[in-house]
Amino acid sequence: MRTITIKLPDHRGVPVEAERISPDVLAGLSIKEISEIEVWQGNRRLHLSDIFLISGDPDPDKPENTRIVLEGDLSKVKRIGESMSAGVVEIIGDAGMHAGNSMRGGTLEIKGDAGDWLGREMRGGRIVVEGNAGNYAGAGYRGERCGMRGGEIIIKGNAGAFLGEHLCGGTIEVMGDAGDFPGCANQGGIIRIHGHAHLPGAEMVKGSITAGSARVLPSFACEGIVELGGLTYKKYVGDLVENGKGELYVASGQIGK
């Protein structure tokens, strides 16, 4: 597998639009060509090498055989891995907004925290975040009626507000807590939140949301206790405001306790 390493020594000021840092774009290029790729910082057009230190295997390869490793504080580097379809992008540090948006395949690993709009409108592939994610993870952009349609997002920390807004497919798993309105306007995706969820599933019509604990909206109807994977859950159906058939499961304790 070809590895390309991109280090960010120090970055202050205006965020960088780095949508071209993706295996689909970089795989077929030599290190020199990669250095000369254009990126925008605000209204300034720069070469990738003006901001980053680039090294790695010199020979071009296919995207699926390419691993891009990013190091440093990339919290002001936006759109890493946008529209990627194969290969691996590993971020050792924090990632900026819109990481992995419109992603179709491959893997995006973020060892630190992810910014807002993580995996927005993604269609396939896998995103793993070791830390926390910002608002609108897996959501649709402003006004869109469909957010994430496929693939998987795993957030090992907490997620911000509007997790999986307008989710149309795929799976989101959050090990920690979710902010306000996770899974709102869910159209058929799956969200599993191990910690607390605040007002999940508003305007949801299809799909399912599972939460360790939750403040449930009054527009959900409780249908009793069900058992899932050795745990008992309260099952709700809603959002009734939308005549929704979405399912909301809130853990009520372990069997046998």
Sites of contact with other proteins (CB under 8 A): 141-145
* Nearest residue (CB) to other proteins, 143 versus 256: 143
What's the min distance (Å) between Cβ of 143 and other proteins? 4
* Nearest residue (CB) to other proteins, 2 versus 123: 123
* Nearest residue (CB) to other proteins, 12 versus 145: 145
What's the min distance (Å) between Cβ of 157 and other proteins? 29
* Nearest residue (CB) to other proteins, 159 versus 185: 185
User: 50 vs 9, 32, 91, 105, 213, CA distance in Å?
Assistant: 11, 13, 19, 29, 48
What's the min distance (Å) between Cβ of 145 and other proteins? 7
What's the min distance (Å) between Cβ of 7 and other proteins? 31
Nearby residues of 224 by Cβ (< 8 Å), 6 or more positions away: 234, 235
What's the min distance (Å) between Cβ of 140 and other proteins? 8
| Ordered DSSP codes for 143-179 | T-S----SSEEEESS-B-SSTTTT--SSEEEESS-EE
